[in-house]
């Protein structure tokens, strides 16, 4: 029997497993897939997430391998937010395929002693833990659903997933480009739609966008390379020499949030708790940050070092972040998919504000990057130099509270 069963071995579940082990709790991760998904739904790692990785001593391979993008976009507007003004050692985003992120986070979790079992489909909750499709019961004092938007754990716990249905669809293709644009994060937009071109490690590019024909509630149909090529050529005037598709997909703006992140000994994190249009590439980051907030608290309760009431602060602190996430992605979706003259005018006004009013750019960049997240206990602590030598991030690698001249810092890097 483990202290905690984590359902789902995506980035959120794997980071949570490592945090639980760092806090001394035993943990078993159950994943339905036999093998890691080679397709990377998530790609962007934002500055606050890089800080979190650094605070546990695992940022180096991400920074070394990822493609650095020194600015960020809001709704694909032509004027981009300058990340260099952010107070962080990581004033950029990283493009890292999700499969590689999962590989690195799984290695960390295993090295810390987490048990990770693949090919295990959870079908229900029991009074003692979960039951698998094989009939096996896996017991634990706590269960955490990190099993995505169609979370079995959430449904079995009877937690509602409220929100809005799809009204528009986006598309993406990971392909080889023989004539890629020279500028990082190039975006082309006109009355035919918009397309953003993002370089990927390994010589691939991701083309992601939308077009007026996709502004519908019904599924537009399977995306093929020919359809993608025709759509991109119509928007950009070129297909950039597109060939050899590795992954083609469509996604909608269906938006939902769990009404509660905790019910008894069952908790939710990541996509199991919130679902949204992937504007700005923030979803995986918010999931990892959910896990970072929950891990030390759940480990403390599971090992008897903290009172059960500590877990109440998880929902109190993280659910408002989910509300904010949904609000911002909805706003970006509205701007992205407004192909009317009125929509273009609105986009022009907002883009000019980002370009000419530094406080607007900084405000949006802070929210997108995750650096502006603050709880009632306190704001995120920067990487302070400590009086007895070293830095805050280095000291946080033990997963313990750290005393600084500015106050006590919690294991998740926020002032207590």
pLDDT at 76: 87
CATH code that applies to domain 2-164+255-369? 3.50.50.60
Q: Please state, in angstroms and rounded to a whole number, the distance separating the CA atoms of residues 416 and 217.
A: 45
Q: Please state, in angstroms and rounded to a whole number, the distance separating the CA atoms of residues 231 and 250.
A: 13
CATH architecture observed for domain 169-252: 2-Layer Sandwich (3.30)
Task: Write down the mean pLDDT value for the chain.
Answer: 95
- The DSSP secondary-structure symbol of 380 reads B
Lowest mean pLDDT: which of 92-106, 181-195, 221-235, 399-413?
Answer: 181-195
Q: What share of the chain in percent tops pLDDT 70?
A: 100
pLDDT at 185 over 80: no
pLDDT at 174 over 90: yes
pLDDT at 28 over 90: yes
pLDDT at 157: 98
**What are the sequence ranges of the domains in the chain?**
2-164+255-369, 169-252, 377-409
- Burial of 89 from C-beta contacts in 10 A (0-12 / 13-18 / 19+): middle
Q: What is the pTM of this model?
A: 0.95
Nearest to 56 by CA among 407, 398, 369: 398
pLDDT at 198: 87
**Span 35-42, mean pLDDT?**
88
Nearest to 370 by CA among 274, 276, 283: 283
190-199, long-range: CB within 8 Å, 24+ apart, which pairs? 190/235, 191/339, 192/234, 192/235, 193/231, 193/234, 193/235, 193/339, 194/76, 194/235, 194/336, 195/231, 195/232, 195/235, 195/236, 196/73, 196/76, 197/240, 198/43, 198/69, 198/95, 199/67, 199/95
**Span 302-306, mean pLDDT?**
97
């Amino acid at each position: 029997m483990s202290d905690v069963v984590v359902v789902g071995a995506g980035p959120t579940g794997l980071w949570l497993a490592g945090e639980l082990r760092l806090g001394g709790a035993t943990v078993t991760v159950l994943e339905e897939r036999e093998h890691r998904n080679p397709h990377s739904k998530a790609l962007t790692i934002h500055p606050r997430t890089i800080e979190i990785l650094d605070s546990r001593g695992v940022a180096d391979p991400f920074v070394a391998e990822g493609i650095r993008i020194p600015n960020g976009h809001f709704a694909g507007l032509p004027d981009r937010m300058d990340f260099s003004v952010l107070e962080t050692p990581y004033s950029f985003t990283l493009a890292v395929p999700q499969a590689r992120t999962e590989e690195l986070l799984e290695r960390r979790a295993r090295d810390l002693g987490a048990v990770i079992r693949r090919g295990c489909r959870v079908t229900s909750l029991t009074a003692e833990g979960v039951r698998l499709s094989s009939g096996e019961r896996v017991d634990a004092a706590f269960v955490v659903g990190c099993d995505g938007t169609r979370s079995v754990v959430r449904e079995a716990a009877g937690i509602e997933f409220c929100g809005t249905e799809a009204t528009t669809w986006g598309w993406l293709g990971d392909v080889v480009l023989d004539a890629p644009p020279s500028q990082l994060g190039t975006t082309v937009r006109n009355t035919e739609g918009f397309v953003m071109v993002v370089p990927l490690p390994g010589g691939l590019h991701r083309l992601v966008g939308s077009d007026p024909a996709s502004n519908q509630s019904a599924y537009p149909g399977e995306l093929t390379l020919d359809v993608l090529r025709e759509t991109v050529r119509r928007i950009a005037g070129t297909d950039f020499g597109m060939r050899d598709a590795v992954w083609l997909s469509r996604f909608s703006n269906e938006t939902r949030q769990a009404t509660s992140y905790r019910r008894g000994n069952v908790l939710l994190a990541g996509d199991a708790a919130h679902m949204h249009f992937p504007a700005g590439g923030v979803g995986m980051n918010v999931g990892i940050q959910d896990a970072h907030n929950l891990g030390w608290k759940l480990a403390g309760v599971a090992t008897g070092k903290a009172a059960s009431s500590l877990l109440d602060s998880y929902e109190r602190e993280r659910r408002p972040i989910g509300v904010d996430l949904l609000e911002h992605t909805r706003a970006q979706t509205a701007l992205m998919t407004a192909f009317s003259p009125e929509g273009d005018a609105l986009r022009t006004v907002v883009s000019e504000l980002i370009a000419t009013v530094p406080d607007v750019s900084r405000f949006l960049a802070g929210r997108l990057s995750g650096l502006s997240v603050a709880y009632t206990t306190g704001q995120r602590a920067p990487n302070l130099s400590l009086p007895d030598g070293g830095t805050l991030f280095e000291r946080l690698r033990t997963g313990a509270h750290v005393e600084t001249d500015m106050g006590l810092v919690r294991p998740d890097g926020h002032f207590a």
